Amino acid sequence: MVGSLSTTRDDASRTASDFFRLFRATKHARVLNSAAPKCSAATRLRGVMERPAISVLINNHNYGRFVGRAIDSALNQKAPDVETIVVDDGSSDQSRSILEAYNNRVKVLCQDNRGQAAAINAAVRVSRGDILCFLDADDWWAPGKLSATAAAFRSNPQVSLVYHRLQPTLTDGSPTLKPIPRTLCSGDLSPRLMKSAGWWPFPMTSAIAVRRSAWDAAGDMPEQFRISADAWLTGIYPFLGDVAALPYSLGFYRIHNNNWYRPIDDAAMLRKRMVHWQASVEATNRFLSAHDLPGRLRLTDHYPYRVASARLEGVAARARLKLAVDGLLFAGEPNLLRRVRDALRTARDLPRLGRDVGLSEAAK
């Protein structure tokens, strides 16, 4: 079992606070300059190599039919000094036999099923790269992803998080829909997040990379994020440094029944999203408070949360008008045309209070 961090809570608070001040106040922040065993309850890592520039961290749970393509897309990158680490989070399918086939090319960790955040934490603990790149086992990257990501970090020492768009695909890998997210955000996003309860057109996990010094300041992901760990990465790291968005689709996001990205939500999924959004706001506020960082988020500023509630319950005419106006002013969407479009569609499509909202219950 991988060891846990030994830093105390007070030490971690001081570290994050100092990191925040230094990251914002200076332009001279730190610049970026094996054998895989069989899975077992007590994981042993063999092989020693020089400190890599980039660590690729793949989390897997029962994606044996997909994980090979994810690993191949990482191994086929042309960037130098890369290590690839795969954490199997208690899979019960053929995942482990697939991972064993990669032998000396990747490091493999195995653990009991504890969720996505715990799997990523375990991978980071044994990683050595200055840049941490995350990849879900059901997604894969395009050639050039790691080189472009590393260049973005080198170009701006104040950047804590780099991301790019992903091309959605069907289960079989064929492209569908437009690349996501549509709107890109760069620079200091913390003022925007303060006004939007932390919501912005955020990227998915497989599009995200963070600087190790920022990870060390933030600490491990809370294990409450058993899924959608991108909520922690995109919610916390904009408060620790700048964000850099690459305008290219440098990866592929596979849409299937086990993920949250879907064109239409049923009632059960809306409730899940609301619980997740509230938990994300609370987790961010705990982080800001514990690390003596300024400001707090308010759930009432979370426009998608309010819209989801209205879709479940229905709204009266006056509440519908207020939601439309608030949507036009919502800080979370920087693109004016998309903000206007979304606000008007919401006002038009929300069910009336006391009427059948027309949503099925089962999340499929």
Task: Look at residue 356 in the predicted model and tell me its pLDDT.
Answer: 55
DSSP string, 326-352: HHHH-TT---HHHHHHHHHHHHHHSPB
Task: Look at residue 7 in the predicted model and tell me its pLDDT.
Answer: 37
Residue 42 amino acid letter = A
Calpha distance 93→75 (Å, rounded)? 23
Task: Look at residue 25 in the predicted model and tell me its pLDDT.
Answer: 47
Q: What is the mean pLDDT of each run of 10 residues along the chain (364 residues)?
A: 36 50 42 37 38 93 97 96 97 97 94 96 98 98 98 97 97 95 98 98 97 97 90 96 98 85 81 95 96 94 97 94 97 97 94 69 50
What global pTM score does this model have? Answer: 0.85
Classify domain 9-254 by CATH architecture. Alpha-Beta Complex (3.90)
pLDDT tens digits, residue range 299-354?
999 999 999 999 999 999 999 999 999 999 999 999 999 999 999 999 999 999 87
CB proximity list for 177: less than 8 A, separation 6 or greater: 168, 263
Give the chain's length: 364
Calpha distance 170→106 (Å, rounded)? 27
Task: Look at residue 11 in the predicted model and tell me its pLDDT.
Answer: 46
DSSP string, 157-205: TTEEEEEEEEEEE-TTS-B-S--B-SS---B--HHHHHHTTT--SPPPG
pLDDT tens digits, residue range 38-86?
454 333 333 334 568 999 999 999 999 999 999 999 999 999 999 999 9
Task: Look at residue 48 in the predicted model and tell me its pLDDT.
Answer: 36
In the chain, what are the domain boundaries? Answer: 9-254, 267-349
DSSP string, 86-116: EEEES--SSHHHHHHTTGGGSEEEEE-S--H
CB proximity list for 135: less than 8 A, separation 6 or greater: 56, 57, 58, 59, 70, 73, 74, 141, 205, 206, 251
Rg from Cα positions in the chain: 21
Is-cis flag, bond preceding 168, omega within 30? no
Q: Are 166 and 207 in contact (CB under 8 A)?
A: yes
